Structure 1
Amino acid sequence: MGYITHVRGEFVIEPPLTWNEIKASPFEPVGRGKYGIVELDLGLRVEEASVDTDEGTLVRRTGTALVMREIDEYRARGLVEQVQRCIDLFPGHTFTGRLECEGEENTDIWRVVIREGRAVKVEPRIVWPDEDGAQ
């Protein structure tokens, strides 16, 4: 047991990743870990679409988003680095969105966003409103 961080959100990938990019990636599709062991906290959301061809029905798989895996006691160590690793792994694709992170303490809130191709941790600024102009 240790300090837990809850993470929600996603990064949408445009254009979506092809199956060749997905299957060669360490960011295995969510829910499909090899032998039940997954090394990374983030995974790819894979969508499937059936396409009729002259040879029959083809199932096309594309990676549409980078998302958090379901982890019971997540500690958020290395989260920003993992997002950056995925961005670097897929040049020519744009990642948009954010991950909202909230720790056990009520002041521990932050986000992972992407600015100019770099994953960045952003912490909020808390500002007290002026009380009738008095300081």
Structure 2
Amino acid sequence: MGYITRVDGEFAITPPLTWNEIKSSPFTQPGREGLWGALKIDLGLRVDETSTDTDDGPLLRRSASALVMPHIDEYRDRGLVEQVQRCIDLFPGHTFTGRLDCEGEENTDLWRVVIRDGRAVRVEPRIVWPDEDGAE
């Protein structure tokens, strides 16, 4: 057993990734070993499919519009920030927007993964007490 973190949210990808860009990406098969040695890939690309009727039959197009955290019952943070950054680095020319909200087992363990200037960063909240003006 280990410390469990709940992760919600996603990063939208603009423009969406093409099938050629994603077909052999480690982010199309979360849970498998990635291209970077021991780093296990937990995040996944949301692959959208559209079908168009053509004279030759249906044409299936696949693209990825978001980087998401699949549902994992007992997720143990294994380098989440690093995984987001590796995905960003793998697809230059695309913009990732959004955030992942993370909550650990302890009530004070709240943080986010956001993108700042093309870099994935961990952001922790600040607790700010209101000014004490003597009023109760």
Same fold (TM over 0.5): yes
Give, in whole Å, the separation in 2 of the partners of 1:76 and 1:67. Answer: 14
Measure how far apart 1:102 and its partner are: 0.3
Corresponding position of 2:10: 10
Amino acid at match of 1:87: I
Could you tell me which runs of 5 or more consecutive residues in structure 1 were left unpaired when the two chains were aligned: none
TM-score (norm 1): 0.89
Measure how far apart 1:54 and its partner are: 2.8
Corresponding position of 2:37: none
2:22 matched to 1:28? no
Amino acid at match of 1:131: E
2:117 matched to 1:116? yes
Give, in whole Å, the separation in 2 of the partners of 1:26 and 1:77. Answer: 15
**Aligned counterparts, 1:95-134, within 5 A:** 95-132=96-133
Give, in whole Å, the separation in 2 of the partners of 1:13 and 1:133. Answer: 49
Amino acid at match of 2:21: E
Measure how far apart 1:21 and its partner are: 1.0
Give, in whole Å, the separation in 1 of the partners of 2:79 and 2:27. Answer: 14
Give, in whole Å, the separation in 2 of the partners of 1:66 and 1:85. Answer: 12
Q: 1:38 to 1:69 in 2, by over 3 A?
A: farther
Give, in whole Å, the separation in 2 of the partners of 1:59 and 1:28. Answer: 17
Q: Secondary structure at the match of 2:45?
A: strand
Corresponding position of 1:94: 95
Q: After superposition, give the CA deviation of every residue in 1:59-99 in whole Å (9 maximum; x if it has no partner).
A: 11110100012212111120000000000000011100000
Could you tell me which runs of 5 or more consecutive residues in structure 2 were left unpaired when the two chains were aligned: 34-40
User: Contact (CA 8 Å) 2:44, 2:68: kept in 1 or not?
Assistant: yes
Amino acid at match of 2:48: E
Q: How many residues align?
A: 128
Q: Secondary structure at the match of 2:88?
A: helix
